[in-house]
Structure 1
Amino acid sequence: MGGDPFTVDDLIARVRSYNPRTDETLLRAAFAYGGEMHEGQMRYSGEPYFTHPVAVAAILADQRLDDATIITALLHDTIEDTRASYVEVQRRFGDEIAELVDGVTKLTNLQLSSSETKQAENFRKLFIAMSKDLRVILVKLADRLHNMRTIKAMRPEKQVKKARETMDIFAPLAGRMGMQWMREELEDLAFRVINPEARASIMRRFITLQRESDDVIERITGDMRKELKKGDIEAEILGRAKKPYSIWRKMQEKEMGFSRLSDIYGFRIVTQTEADCYAVLGAIHQRWRAVPGRFKDYISQPKSNGYRSIHTTVSGRDGKRVEVQIRTRQMHDVAETGVAAHWSYRDGVRTENPFAVDPAKWINTLTEQFDVEEDHEDFLEAVKLEMYTDKVFCFTPKGDVIKLPRGATPLDFAYAIHTRIGNAVVGAKIDGMRVPLWTRIKNGQSVEVIIADGQTPQSTWLDIATTGKAKTAIRRALRELDRGRYIKLGRELARAAFEHVGKRASEKTLGTAARTLRLEGAEELLARMGRAELTAREVVQAVYPDLAPQGVDEVGRDRAVIGLSDGQHFERAPCCEPLPGERIIGITYRGKGVVVHTIDCPSIASYEDQPERWIDLRWHEGTHAAAYDVALDITIGNDAGVLGRICTLIGERKANISNLTFVDRKPDFYRLLVEVELRDVEHLHSLISALNADSDVAAVDRHRDLARVAGGGATQS
């Protein structure tokens, strides 16, 4: 708000321009009270502090907001930073404004950029504050916008902290609320601080492009006016170049340089009626070629924040792509101010914009799914996913509309209907065709999921699902399944260990061992045994110190597999590398050799017409020697000491590294194949869980090399 100081008369004139019935007396009182409370306080820039609340009020006045919101902006820092109190503000300005000022104060006190756990809790508080009155967050967003506009006065390290917080939280929140202009400006102001070189580079190229192509916007706008005039359609055409950060993000997403980026110009056509919107669309598509896959009709399927518009991309002059948004004036108001349109004025009266979403309903849909979150990090991930994503609309077989984030899969669809449905999914159909679960759903498609009793979520589903709700439900189910499996394995290990010393692993015995080892109870003790975090010897020793075995008999490789004939030897198939504990099948080869595959190995499909070569096999129960190689595909951060720590972690899980190969080296990460010697499939799960828990491990998966022909070179019979 540079230049001369913004006076109370300036503010009143701005509010009066859209709300002639404004309470001028109350506005003047708030302006005077705020000025008095902040008397003597200065900003980092050296300006009087009160210039900041006035600037925030002016930003909100530009959004044509009601008196209560404007007055809250003027007073938003009084309770926190001055001698003013809630009671005093309530006495002078009433309950509504006191509540709003108090809400903004509480938001200001949230340290949103703190550690992950605290950040998740603060997000929870932020949504609670928003659910009471959404105008609280409108004031907070305007407050952040003015602070970002004047950020240069801050210390460099504080600038970076504020910019990151803005990019992570406030910009996406503004976008989620439908205030796209604010999101773009916040992102660009933060981008200027976080990566000034990249922004300067974009700006330089922009200037060069404009110099080379004259005024592209003016020429395309002129062409569009001619087409609309031909069709006798009355509309306003607004053209603009996209913001530097928007261009930078697109360059990163598409991995292409500025020169190859086409749709860097955007045009909005604002019409009188909804019918005109479709008439404009026809005129535009008749004149220019539409780009396939770049059409979206948010008029017939609005976004959850009330956004309505038709989006299309066409090939304009010189083959340049141009993005066009078509909407009515009322739709445009919602597109500009989002949920704030609920409180805004037009032509002197509080508007009942039919397209403005009810703020209470909107915030309830946003918060209700987070209420069930138990894990703080899961909650935070869910919040960020929900704030950043755009929507696709699909249909159930009965014709009900389901809203999902862009990029959602049939798994997300199933969990959106009910957690029980999601957990039982075995397949999916889109528009009647069977598709893999990882298929991305597109707007307007009909989705059907196939479920089966006894099906349980798979760990790979976490990579397929995109919504916070689905990921949370899958994690919870996997935790319960893993714990149950580990307890079962632990119980078997405990039974064998206690029998080895002539004792019985009763509940009382296990409870005593748990208390001695300071664990919550017998189930926790068994789960830790199953995860190999406790040895059988340690458990027995906790109850019978003098009888603890010096070692438990291991199942040797010579008797590891049951179902072989006398004299038959086996090899593990290199394609699937089966482990004890997995269901297996044998394929015979000449020379009496048997190659063991997992039951779900794709390679065995090639033997379907030779059933005589199949042998039903199973692993011997008991503790196997850690002698079975399995390859793990691990992606880790490229930082000092990370690889050493990962190797140590593998060793601590009683797994020996037999080989290590680097697959990919990038400046920020390494991808490597690590071959480890393991006992069984539970040992594998335990190791993967431990690796996944490390903050520097980006991804870890079991590597199956299906290119390697099973059989180890043996001649087929």
Structure 2
Amino acid sequence: MYILQFSTMSDEERQAAEEKMINDEFQALLNDYLNSNHRRKVDIITKAFNLANEAHKGARRRSGEPYIMHPLAVARIVSREMGLGSTSISAALLHDVVEDTDYTVEDIRMMFGDKIAQIVDGLTKISSGMFGDNVSAQAENFRKLLLTMSEDIRVILIKIADRLHNMRTLSSMAPAKQFKITGETLYIYAPLAHRLGLFAIKTELEELCFKYEHPDIYAELTRKIEETAPERNKIYEHFAEPVIKALDKMDIQYEMRARVKSVYSIWKKMEAKGISFEEVYDLFAVRIIFEVTPGMDEKKQCWDIYSAITDIYKLRPDRIRDWLSHPKSNGYQALHLTVMGPDGKWIEIQIRSRRMDDIAEKGFAAHWKYKENRVEEDSELDKWIRTIQEILANPNPNAIDFLDTVKMNLFSSEIFVFTPKGEIITLPQDATALDFAYRIHTRIGDHCLGAKVNHTLVPLSYKLKSGDQVEILTSQTVNPQPEWLNFVTTAKARTKIEASLRRQKRRIAEKGKVMLEELFNNEPIDNNVMTKILNYYKVEKREDLYYLIGNNEVVLPESPDRFYKIKETLPKSENLFMKYMKQAMSAMKKSSVETSPIVPQSDSNKKNISSSPAVDTKEVYELKEERFKKNFIVAPCCKPLPGDDVFGYINDRNEVEVHKRSCETGIKLKSNFGDRIIAVRWGDYHQYSFLASIAFTGIDRIGILNTILSKLSEDVVVNIQSVNVSSNDGIFEGVINVHVHSVEDVNLLCSKIAKVDGVSTVHRSLI
């Protein structure tokens, strides 16, 4: 838009137009701020804008617009969509000044004071290198982000606003860069926004990721949502008419509206359940937002509205969600219920006060608006930040494992369980008895022997359910074991177990070191001799050798003479030079076939593949049929087919590993290994076939399988690998594994099966 508007202007006209655009955007920011309930500190915001505007003068974004438009946009998100005040707005305007210009944090401190300087410093630390080229640096910077967040939550709020604006302007980036950024966003930023209660921002981040990763599916689902709007409106109007009459009689101020699910959440449901768009029954939810009547209890008003609705419509008891008495850990409060509407459709209803709605949309930032009366509402966020601080106090040395550990607790649903004394404990969905033990105290977790759930003895791995009462049994003779890591789902428990196991390993290694030194009469061990010992026991590091000795996994000889007698010979495996020469000779023989460049895979090569990439990461890589299994492979985790939305990842063997863009493993790769991600494009496949799986269900009848198989073989020869069908109480379930050339082949086969009388559902599934 900017380029189209200004490309025909002279330099003077363009400069004047840009200045007007910048000043208009700044005035819009001030209007956002003045329309809030914050104190009127316009002077400091204006001062921050003037400095940022001067510092970024002449710089442009990739889209072509002046760079200052980015900090202005971030500041507007911080003000209008998060509800933050002058300190955060000023820090947002200045968030790139220290990183991109000659100004220092000390300069910011001198001009704006300690608080703004501290926030800008935190943003600078996590921005320079956050999710950069070096994988360890990526996780290390995320660790910095969390550390800074625990000091001032506004750092991460501004960082999320920064990411949201980058996502809104992602179209100007190259495809490979887009995949990297969407991967980071889905892996870290959307879960962080969710945990901080920024529901509207979390939803938009997911929608934008989906739009860039699956543009065709996004467009198709958007079209279907628009096409079905009249039918939904009719269902809503039939439902709303008697409810409005009932609420009007209660003499309360309220608004009621239907809110359609996001395109991303609809698609996720379709993928998870293997259903079509038409089979998603809960496309929209009804939201009732009321103003609290002075002198009335807001929770009681929620239940009064609930009572009025259930007097009209039949309730579905298993779908009640009471987040009033026990808010979610991100502060979310509401009362959810599902009723059978007049058109025979289940309708979900969310009942909230205006305060609850503010917190649901703007998260903990909105708490500050109500803080005078409801300080206790911040307690759940404080608990989460304390958990983060505990993880940071005992970080996993492996940076990526650390990232995963924190990620575990960012996006989890919650359950409520009770201690023997009746205290309520909040835990993530699928938390176990061992998670509960570590939630109570680290010492209780470390010595956990078992548990009693509802007075019944259960193992450590027992998964808890909401309402369970849990008592932990301990013994001082019990210590954490490696298999315990398979029993936990919370970040705190995993961190504490890993820290304990590392301490145990260090103690055993110390014991092993003493045993080895005693063998040599406590005399220094020559480096050559130590190398011989390591080779003899086939161990790479001294610490690993000490651990094996201390743990009695290797037996030392009675005398050190045994080691002196070992001859210095080359290891049986080929050395690096010979290995490289063999690879080179092999490559020369295959010179008629296009292959990846072959490099000796030293340890440093394995850690940083970007030093010798197989392909040009800036170009779109063609997935040609003749290259398959030579230059690229399909990932076994998601098994993409030609026609799927995919991206490429350059693995340690210099192969292009092709993943679906929606693949969970792929999302992790995109967020952690940005320098190895490339854009790819399918070629035509006529000879090579891929194995695909089609699942179907329906009403059982004699000969239905024969009907399905004959339908599949109509017009085309189908290479079926296997068929598995089972029947129970008149319902059958079947899976056909078949060789295909593309997604189109799968869709064609699915449509044929769907036409068979008695088949109710059919979809492609993972093998």
- For residue 334 of structure 2, what is the aligned residue in structure 1? 309
Q: Which amino acid in structure 2 is aligned with residue 334 of structure 1?
A: I
User: Offset at 1:152?
Assistant: 0.8
Determine the C-alpha separation between the residues in 1 that align with 2:74 and 2:98.
16
- For residue 706 of structure 2, what is the aligned residue in structure 1? none
Residue in structure 2 matching 1:41, options 50, 54, 59: 59
- For residue 370 of structure 1, what is the aligned residue in structure 2? 392
Q: Which amino acid in structure 1 is aligned with residue 243 of structure 2?
A: M
- For residue 265 of structure 2, what is the aligned residue in structure 1? 246
Determine the C-alpha separation between the residues in 2 that align with 1:326 and 1:105.
41
SS in 2 for 1:517: helix
The yes-or-no answer on 1:125 pairing with 2:144 is yes
The yes-or-no answer on 1:404 pairing with 2:427 is yes
The yes-or-no answer on 1:290 pairing with 2:315 is yes
Q: Is the 8 A contact 1:429 1:449 kept in 2?
A: yes
User: Offset at 1:355?
Assistant: 6.0
SS in 2 for 1:428: strand
Q: Which amino acid in structure 1 is aligned with residue 79 of structure 2?
A: A
SS in 2 for 1:127: helix
Residue in structure 2 matching 1:171, options 190, 199, 202: 190
Residue in structure 2 matching 1:52, options 65, 70, 81: 70
SS in 2 for 1:293: helix
Which residues in structure 2 correspond to 1:351-370 (within 5 Å)? 353-354=374-375, 356-357=377-378, 363-370=385-392
Q: Is the 8 A contact 2:147 2:392 kept in 1?
A: no
The yes-or-no answer on 1:209 pairing with 2:209 is no
Q: Is the 8 A contact 1:89 1:98 kept in 2?
A: yes
Q: Which amino acid in structure 2 is aligned with residue 40 of structure 1?
A: G
- For residue 533 of structure 2, what is the aligned residue in structure 1? 517
SS in 2 for 1:369: helix
Q: Is the 8 A contact 2:285 2:349 kept in 1?
A: yes
Greater Cα offset, 48-57 or 183-192 = 48-57
Question: In 2 relative to 1, CA 440–312 (structure 1 residues): closer, same or farther, beyond 3 Å?
Answer: farther
Which residues in structure 2 correspond to 1:189-588 (within 5 Å)? 189-271=208-290, 272=292, 273-344=298-369, 353-354=374-375, 356-357=377-378, 363-376=385-398, 377-452=400-475, 454-457=477-480, 459-475=482-498, 514=530, 516-517=532-533, 524-525=545-546, 527=548, 541-545=562-566
Greater Cα offset, 418-427 or 117-126 = 418-427
- For residue 712 of structure 2, what is the aligned residue in structure 1? none
Determine the C-alpha separation between the residues in 2 that align with 1:84 and 1:482.
47
Question: In 2 relative to 1, CA 73–642 (structure 1 residues): closer, same or farther, beyond 3 Å?
Answer: closer
Question: In 2 relative to 1, CA 393–156 (structure 1 residues): closer, same or farther, beyond 3 Å?
Answer: same
- For residue 566 of structure 1, what is the aligned residue in structure 2? none
- For residue 67 of structure 1, what is the aligned residue in structure 2? 86
- For residue 32 of structure 2, what is the aligned residue in structure 1? 14
Q: Which amino acid in structure 2 is aligned with residue 79 of structure 1?
A: V
Determine the C-alpha separation between the residues in 2 that align with 1:25 and 1:57.
15
- For residue 659 of structure 2, what is the aligned residue in structure 1? none
- Count of matched residue pairs: 548
Determine the C-alpha separation between the residues in 2 that align with 1:258 and 1:534.
64
User: Offset at 1:146?
Assistant: 1.2
Deviation by residue 1:90-127 (Cα, 9 ceiling, x = unmatched): 34333332332232222221322655533332221001
User: Offset at 1:244?
Assistant: 1.2
SS in 1 for 2:327: coil
Which residues in structure 2 correspond to 1:122-161 (within 5 Å)? 122-161=141-180
User: Offset at 1:420?
Assistant: 3.6
Determine the C-alpha separation between the residues in 2 that align with 1:333 and 1:479.
45
What stretches of structure 2 of length at least 5 have no aligned partner? 6-19, 293-297, 535-539, 568-635, 641-649, 654-690, 694-767
The structure that has the greater radius of gyration is 1
Q: Which amino acid in structure 2 is aligned with residue 35 of structure 1?
A: N
Question: In 2 relative to 1, CA 361–407 (structure 1 residues): closer, same or farther, beyond 3 Å?
Answer: closer
Determine the C-alpha separation between the residues in 1 that align with 2:219 and 2:208.
12
- For residue 597 of structure 1, what is the aligned residue in structure 2? none
- If the length of structure 1 is used for normalisation, what is the TM-score? 0.67
Determine the C-alpha separation between the residues in 2 that align with 1:95 and 1:641.
45
- For residue 559 of structure 1, what is the aligned residue in structure 2? none
SS in 1 for 2:288: strand
- For residue 32 of structure 1, what is the aligned residue in structure 2? 50
User: Offset at 1:372?
Assistant: 1.5
SS in 1 for 2:332: coil
Question: In 2 relative to 1, CA 193–284 (structure 1 residues): closer, same or farther, beyond 3 Å?
Answer: same
Determine the C-alpha separation between the residues in 1 that align with 2:507 and 2:106.
55
SS in 2 for 1:282: helix
SS in 2 for 1:270: strand
SS in 2 for 1:305: coil
SS in 2 for 1:416: helix
Question: In 2 relative to 1, CA 535–316 (structure 1 residues): closer, same or farther, beyond 3 Å?
Answer: farther
Q: Is the 8 A contact 2:42 2:86 kept in 1?
A: no
Question: In 2 relative to 1, CA 129–243 (structure 1 residues): closer, same or farther, beyond 3 Å?
Answer: same
Q: Is the 8 A contact 2:512 2:549 kept in 1?
A: no
Q: Is the 8 A contact 2:129 2:137 kept in 1?
A: no
Q: Is the 8 A contact 1:378 1:468 kept in 2?
A: no
Question: In 2 relative to 1, CA 439–84 (structure 1 residues): closer, same or farther, beyond 3 Å?
Answer: same
User: Offset at 1:291?
Assistant: 3.3
Question: In 2 relative to 1, CA 111–165 (structure 1 residues): closer, same or farther, beyond 3 Å?
Answer: same
Deviation by residue 1:182-234 (Cα, 9 ceiling, x = unmatched): 11111111111122233233323323432544454455444532342355554
Q: Which amino acid in structure 2 is aligned with residue 34 of structure 1?
A: A
Q: Which amino acid in structure 2 is aligned with residue 357 of structure 1?
A: D
SS in 2 for 1:237: strand
Question: In 2 relative to 1, CA 191–538 (structure 1 residues): closer, same or farther, beyond 3 Å?
Answer: farther
Question: In 2 relative to 1, CA 115–30 (structure 1 residues): closer, same or farther, beyond 3 Å?
Answer: closer
User: Offset at 1:383?
Assistant: 0.7
Determine the C-alpha separation between the residues in 2 that align with 1:450 and 1:183.
40
Determine the C-alpha separation between the residues in 2 that align with 1:121 and 1:522.
24
Greater Cα offset, 177-186 or 508-517 = 508-517
User: Offset at 1:50?
Assistant: 1.5
SS in 1 for 2:392: coil
Q: Is the 8 A contact 2:452 2:471 kept in 1?
A: yes
- For residue 501 of structure 1, what is the aligned residue in structure 2? none
Greater Cα offset, 15-24 or 241-250 = 15-24
Determine the C-alpha separation between the residues in 2 that align with 1:111 and 1:355.
33
Determine the C-alpha separation between the residues in 1 that align with 2:61 and 2:385.
34
Greater RCO between the two (CA within 8 Å, min separation 6)? 2
SS in 2 for 1:311: strand
SS in 1 for 2:228: helix
Q: Which amino acid in structure 1 is aligned with residue 385 of structure 2?
A: I
Q: Which amino acid in structure 1 is aligned with residue 214 of structure 2?
A: N
Q: Which amino acid in structure 2 is aligned with residue 9 of structure 1?
A: Q
Question: In 2 relative to 1, CA 545–133 (structure 1 residues): closer, same or farther, beyond 3 Å?
Answer: closer
Determine the C-alpha separation between the residues in 2 that align with 1:43 and 1:88.
25
SS in 2 for 1:43: coil
Deviation by residue 1:572-604 (Cα, 9 ceiling, x = unmatched): xxxxxxxxxxxxxxxxxxxxxxxxxxxxxxxxx
